[in-house]
Amino acid sequence: MKKIIMILLLISVATGFAGCAEVSKVMKSDASLSEKFKQFSSIVGNYFDRQSGTRAEAVKKHNYLGRGDLLEIDSASLTPDDVTPGDKMESVVQYTALAAREDQQIRITETRTLQGDKESFQLNSREVVRTQGSHVSTMKFTLPKDMAKGNYTLVTTISDGKNSRTVKNPLRVV
């Protein structure tokens, strides 16, 4: 019984860390960025995924004729769009991935980058394998309490290795 409890405890701890957002610096524009970057290292996020449409539904919706790969962003949102430092955020992107071979799974890279006036920070990039159809990817994260006021853009890019689609959502820290 103790072994089972320990195994369950280890599994829950390991899966709890799997949702944490990694933050890596994408661009360096001046010496003060190293300090600014430290504030973004405190951003913690979790992913929630679901398939929102089958392959058949996606084929019909996008008038897909079965030739080549199709990758489309159907919708995207960032809430709230006016925030204060330390606020919780939610980024949602719905996209469709189709391939000519009906049974083929598709390897997708999802990348979210926060762009400011002078710098850009990759919040997270992850690779997932999807069945064909439409999918919703939700990332919840918390902004640092000492984040600088200003206008930012959350850039979300979805890629299947051949095709890449990008959507931008504005964000204002007040």
Q: What are the sequence ranges of the domains in the chain?
A: 20-173
Worst-scoring range by mean pLDDT, 12-16, 38-42, 169-173?
12-16
Specify the pTM: 0.75
The angle subtended at Cα 51 by Cα 46 and Cα 55, nearest 5°, is 150
CATH architecture of 20-173: Sandwich (2.60)
Contact call for residues 100 and 10 (beta carbons, < 8 A): no
Alpha helices, DSSP H, located in 33-159: 33-40, 55-61
* Residue 16 to residues 7, 65, 129, Cα–Cα distance (Å): 14, 41, 20
What span, in angstroms and rounded, lies between the C-alpha atoms of 142 and 19?
Answer: 13
In tens, the pLDDT along 60-73 reads 999 999 989 999 99
